[in-house]
Amino acid sequence: MKKKSKGICTIYRGIPASPGVVIGKVFLLNRESIEVVEEKIPENEVSKEILKFKKAINDTKEELLKTREKVAKQIDPDHAKIFDAQIMILEDELISNAVIEKIKQSHSNAEFVYRKVIEETVKALSATKDEYLKERILDIHAVENRLIYNLLGIKHLTVESINLPVILVARSLSPADVVHMKKGSILGFAADLGGRTSHVAILAKSMGIPAVVGLKNFFDQVTDKQSIILDGLKGEMVVCPDEETLVEYEKRRKFILKKTEELSELKSLPAVTLDGRKIELSANIEFPTDTAYALEYGAEGIGLFRTEYLYITHAGFPTEEEQHQVYQEVMEKVHPKSVILRTFDLGGDKFGHHDGSLVEANPFLGWRAIRASLDLPDMFKIQLRAMLKASAKKSIKIMFPMISEIEELKKAKAILNEAKEELKRKKIPYDEKIPVGIMVEIPSAALAADILAKECDFFSIGTNDLIQYTLAVDRGNEKIAHLYQSFHPAVLRLIKETVDAGHRNGIWVGLCGEMAADPLATTLFVGMGMDELSTSAMAIPEIKKIIRSISFEDAKKHASEVLKLTTIDEIKRFLIEDYARRFGKENKG
């Protein structure tokens, strides 16, 4: 985090995660748990203490059910399912019986005993270093805090219970926290941890909540209710702004809003260059409810549905019918345009593995995405059948994540064929020629793209991962965020090679990583011959405007110039100057 003083205000720089300028008061999300001290209970009050504990469980359950209902009504029924997992933890008999036994034996107060039992449970889970279980640990602590607050009779605060318009400041946030943010209440959020393409950042963008992440130790620099400005485009936090700065940012906020309004006029126009080259401009979505938002911003289809988010909002894997309903719902909204359903990309920073059996030192290099799906063919086939069932109107395409070599793709297709056969036997209609594509997001796939292209119908380049795997830089680690460089010549070459290999083999090539939303890269991608760009909904109008104001012939020359450059700095400078020349400086951030 860089710090700079300006008048009486201090500017902190982090990583821009989701655009928009908001001005408001700090709300510190203090996750440090409340202190609990041991108190001895007289023998004749032990049963009263146990009753107090049982009542706190009931009160907590009621709270969780209420929040569940509220989230289901106000946000999305799918998002509400996360509370099922928390209720299961709350009602875990191993935990509650251990607490009751210990109260009886030690004559200690319920909150003290409960915390001890939770500490032991978490210790046992943490020892596994398992990503999935780590996700559950967050849930366990969430339940623990609620229950202890109830035992102590203190009002509990969680992300979803914040009702004032505030700017949330936290040390770290999980994708589950972001899912629970209410738009009118959380104006924006800032977190000390996280990178530009971390899933917290991706979610913030998809939900239209301005955010800055990777602020390192910002949490310790601010206090509750301080006035603050969050600039999600520049990645800046301005603390205690003076009058002059407030006026300046208010102007900037209005400028960005005006620009968004102007751009919305492009909604129904195609993304076509001046000389007639059409680029498919689609949206990435994480939740079915994002679909309407995507169409509102002029998406010509869904270029990436990250289906694994069904898993975060669900206790365990969703059933075939639950999945089918979701895929069908999204398809119906988008039809006759198309929806690319990506099979689960679990692992990495996304909610670990479901059976908790594996300890991984490097989850991003581990049992992730297609690797997990191929290892769990029953689960995989359930998902594929659910996807196929939604495909009868021919609007669905299936995409496999993290393909690294041809055999993997062949195995995935063989399971897809089995799923098709099963549906055929049951006379359930589906698209027999359903297009199958892969994410090109591992350097080996980009380098072997000509081999892979012969076995699939399309490529979608996942630059978020392609960059991290090419440059060996963890996409979510704020400490090395400066090394995560989209415009590294090696990354650009891999992208270009992939486009060319796809075209040589007669398939279309798109790009669905966060780079698709970077206006600096649009002319370059058009010039490389990209057929489709899929991005967060709110970026679509700006990218469309650029496409509509350039010519393909000129973009090709631009791309060949860029590909000749040898350093990241040279490439960035070239792109910034070119952008300023074409569109004027004031338009960029």
Which residues contact Mg ion (rule: CB under 5 A)?
441, 462, 465
Q: Cβ of 374: how many Cβ atoms within 10 Å? A: 16
Single out the residue of 499, 574, 587 nearest to residue 545, CA to CA. Answer: 587
Q: Which is nearer to ligand PEP, 146 or 314 (CB)?
A: 314
- Dist. CA 367–CA 359, nearest whole Å: 10
**Cα dihedral sign, 525-530-536-541:** positive
Is the distance from CB of 237 to CB of 218 less than 8 angstroms?
A: yes
| Stretch (H or E) spanning 4 | strand 2-6
Residue 375 structure tokens? 């290892």
Single out the residue of 415, 411, 506 nearest to residue 454, CA to CA. Answer: 506
Is the distance from CB of 547 to CB of 515 less than 8 angstroms?
A: no
306 binds, among Mg ion, ligand PEP, none (CB under 5 to 8 A by kind): ligand PEP
Q: Which is nearer to ligand PEP, 300 or 345 (CB)?
A: 345
- Dist. CA 254–CA 309, nearest whole Å: 33
467 binds, among ligand PEP, Mg ion, none (CB under 5 to 8 A by kind): none
Does a cis peptide bond (omega within 30 degrees of 0) precede residue 336? yes
Active site residue: 79, 324, 488, 512, which one? 512
What is the arrangement of strands in the sheet containing 236-239, beginning at the earlier edge strand?
2-6, 9-13, 236-239, 227-231, 21-28, 166-170, 186-191, 211-213, 15-18
* DSSP string covering 227-296: EEEEETTTTEEEES--HHHHHHHHHHHHHHHHHHHHHHTTTTS--B-TT--B-EEEEEESSTTHHHHHHH
> At 545, phi and psi to the nearest 5?
-60, -40
Q: How far is the CB of 47 from Mg ion (least distance, A)?
A: 54
Q: Which is nearer to Mg ion, 160 or 465 (CB)?
A: 465
530 binds, among Mg ion, ligand PEP, none (CB under 5 to 8 A by kind): none
463 binds, among Mg ion, ligand PEP, none (CB under 5 to 8 A by kind): ligand PEP
Is the distance from CB of 211 to CB of 18 less than 8 angstroms?
A: yes
Is 558 in the active site?
Answer: no
Q: Which is nearer to Mg ion, 135 or 465 (CB)?
A: 465
Q: How far is the CB of 113 from ligand PEP (least distance, A)?
A: 42
Q: Which is nearer to ligand PEP, 24 or 462 (CB)?
A: 462
- Identity at 363, one-letter amino acid code: P
Tell me which residues touch ligand PEP (CB under 6 A): 304, 306, 345, 441, 462-465, 512-513
Active site residue: 9, 79, 180, 199, which one? 199
Is 512 in the active site?
Answer: yes
- Dist. CA 359–CA 379, nearest whole Å: 21
352 binds, among Mg ion, ligand PEP, none (CB under 5 to 8 A by kind): none
Would you call 466 helix, strand, or coil by DSSP?
helix
- Dist. CA 489–CA 382, nearest whole Å: 40
512 binds, among Mg ion, ligand PEP, none (CB under 5 to 8 A by kind): ligand PEP
Q: Which is nearer to Mg ion, 113 or 439 (CB)?
A: 439
Q: How far is the CB of 139 from ligand PEP (least distance, A)?
A: 22
513 binds, among ligand PEP, Mg ion, none (CB under 5 to 8 A by kind): ligand PEP
85 binds, among ligand PEP, Mg ion, none (CB under 5 to 8 A by kind): none
Q: Which is nearer to ligand PEP, 470 or 523 (CB)?
A: 470
Alpha helices in 7-81 (DSSP H): 46-74, 77-80
What angle, 0 to 180 degrees and rounded to 10, lies between the N-to-C axes of helices 46-74 and 82-90? 170
Residue 21: beta bridge partners?
Answer: 231
Single out the residue of 298, 349, 329, 366 nearest to residue 539, CA to CA. Answer: 298
Residue 409 structure tokens? 């793709």
Q: Which is nearer to ligand PEP, 68 or 199 (CB)?
A: 199
Q: How far is the CB of 307 from Mg ion (least distance, A)?
A: 13
Would you call 211 helix, strand, or coil by DSSP?
strand
**Which residues are the active-site residues?**
199, 512
